[in-house]
Every structure is written in structure tokens, then in C-alpha cells.
Amino acid sequence: MARGLRPGPAHVCKAALLHGALMPLQVLLLDASIDVRGLELPLDQRDQRQKDSGKAGGWVQRCKPALKALLARGAVLSSHSLQSRLLKRLEEDGTARWTERVLEGLRRDRPDLPDMVLTRIAEFTGSATSDVCTRPGAEN
């Protein structure tokens, strides 16, 4: 980045889906501050490339940590992605982690928000658990 590279969401997709590597992904997400909220991950194209190259087996397992990291930061699987059970589970986990990150950000940035508001937000997103909805040190 110091040498003029302007990374964007396409670089994030490539790092995650083609290489499955966390280190380049960390550099892109944290150092380059690339926002992946709403980024659609085209897994159907990824699967087709793997079939064409003869490496179809296990790519989801290999890319799983990178997919989890992106989904926890607001990326989404494309609506026409091939949906295996593992991908569905990753998406559910990513949504739960994204909700936790949002609620934690609200708690940090808006400490004056009542717990009831945070609880309602968690209920609305479908991840209302006691540890997500309560503030550290607060009584239920």
C-alpha cells in the first residue's frame, strides 16, 4: 500500500476465495481498512473454477476461516450461491458474529442506550441470547 497499491473488495474476494489465506485478508481488512459490509461473495463462480481445474474437493474447508472472517464483518453469500450444509452453517455463524460486533459497537459508542434497546435489536436480528444483550457488569 505504501507503493501505490489501492486494494479493494475484489482483492478481498480473491484472497479469501482463491487462496483461503488469513494473513493477506488481515492486511486488507485491518491495515487497508477495506469495508466488506454487504460485499457479495460469488461462491458459485469459485466452485466452477475449482471444477475446471480439477481441485473441487475441500475448497470450502480450506477457505472456511477466511469465509468466517468476511461473514463476521458483514459480507454475504451471493443469493445464487450453491448452498451446502457447511456454507449455510458458516452463514448462520457469520450472521451471529456480525450481530455481536454491531451490538458491541453500540455498547461502546453509545453507553447511554438502555439495555432494553439492545435486547430489542438482538431479538429483531434473531440472536437474542443473554450474553449478547447484557452489558458487562450490568445486572439483568
Grouped pLDDT means (10 residues each) for the chain, 140 residues = 78 86 88 89 60 57 88 82 76 87 92 90 72 48
Please give the grid coordinates belonging to residue 115. 439495555
Q: Tell me the C-alpha distance between 132 and 122, whole Å.
A: 7
Q: Domain coordinates of the chain in residue numbers? A: 9-133
3-class state of residue 41 by DSSP: strand
Q: What is the rounded distance in angstroms from the CA atom of residue 28 to the CA atom of residue 78? A: 21
Q: What is the pLDDT of residue 5?
A: 77
| Cell numbers describing residue 125 | 436480528
* pLDDT for the residue 98: 87
Q: H or E element: which one contains 47?
A: helix 43-53
- Whole-structure pTM value: 0.68
The DSSP result for 51-83, as a single string, is HHHT--TTHHHHHHHHHHHHHTTT-EE-TTS--
- CA–CA separation, 50 vs 56, rounded Å? 5
